[in-house]
Amino acid sequence: MNKQEFLKALSERLDKLPENEKNKSINYYLEMIDDRIEEGASEDEAIGALGGIEEIAENIMSQYPDVNKKQSIKKRFNLNTVTIILIIIGSPIWLSILLAIISVIISIYSAAFGIAVALVSIVISFILGGIFAVVASPVIMFQNLLAGIFALGSGLTLVGLGILAVFGSVLFIRLIIKATKFFIRKIAYITSGKERFAQ
């Protein structure tokens, strides 16, 4: 690599710098090369003594952190702009999918809510029916002993089944609450910025 090729390559790698700063750096290395040539070194030896072109360019650029920061911001901005454009263009597809997912979730929760309401209704009807049968059994016994005993047994059975159904209902409702909390945490995790397209 001769002097002109070296300076051209260095200029290309310092293209992000302001023109006056770039010229200062190029002139500095030009003087260094000329000084070594005056001392008796060949052009190739003078350039070789400076080190690799990439290393020289990195050292110069590291002295201008503001320029690197601006470039980083610019890259982020460009990436975010592209992401936004892609989101807008793809909206007919992902919006349809999102609406379908929301519809499925609503359907599942509607079904679960319906089951929960049915379980609570069963609990109430069993317990109330059982209590009514137990309370009515003495009156029935005066008319028909066997019918009264059957009413008492049926009432106690209904109350027992109602109590068991209470436990089942509580477990089912807890399961729904647990699943809801899980989905809310997942949605919060995704939308909190931990899984963004671009930082």
Burial of 67 (0-12, 13-18, 19+ CB in 10 A): middle
pLDDT the model gives residue 194: 44
Asked if residue 160 is part of any domain, the answer here is yes
pLDDT, mean of residues 5-31: 82
Output the average pLDDT for the chain: 79
pLDDT the model gives residue 197: 37
Domain end (from 25, 59, 84)? 84
Of 153, 125, 156, 152, residue with least CA distance to 139: 152
Residues 63, 142 within the same domain: no
Asked if residue 199 is part of any domain, the answer here is no
pLDDT the model gives residue 76: 52
Residues 79, 43 within the same domain: yes
The one-character DSSP state at 51 is: -
Is the pLDDT assigned to residue 199 strictly greater than 80? no
Of the two residues 74 and 24, the one the predictor is more confident about is: 24
Q: Three-state SS for 17?
A: coil
pLDDT the model gives residue 65: 63
The per-residue pLDDT for range 87-138, each reduced to its tens digit, is: 778 777 878 888 888 888 888 878 888 888 888 888 888 889 889 988 988 8
pLDDT, mean of residues 61-89: 62
Q: Three-state SS for 40?
A: coil
pLDDT, mean of residues 158-178: 85
CB atoms within 10 A of CB 50: 15
Residue 42 has φ and ψ, to the nearest 5°, of -75, 170
Domain end (from 51, 84, 117)? 84
Number of folded domains that form the chain: 2
Tell me the percentage of the chain whose pLDDT exceeds 70.
85
Is the pLDDT assigned to residue 79 strictly greater than 60? no
Asked if residue 71 is part of any domain, the answer here is yes
What lies within 8 Å, CB to CB, of 45 at 6+ separation is 36
Residues 136, 175 within the same domain: yes
Tell me the percentage of the chain whose pLDDT exceeds 90.
1
Range of the domain at 45: 3-84
pLDDT the model gives residue 191: 61
pLDDT, mean of residues 37-52: 82
Domain end (from 84, 108, 127)? 84
Residues 57, 37 within the same domain: yes
Residues 58, 120 within the same domain: no
Residues 65, 108 within the same domain: no
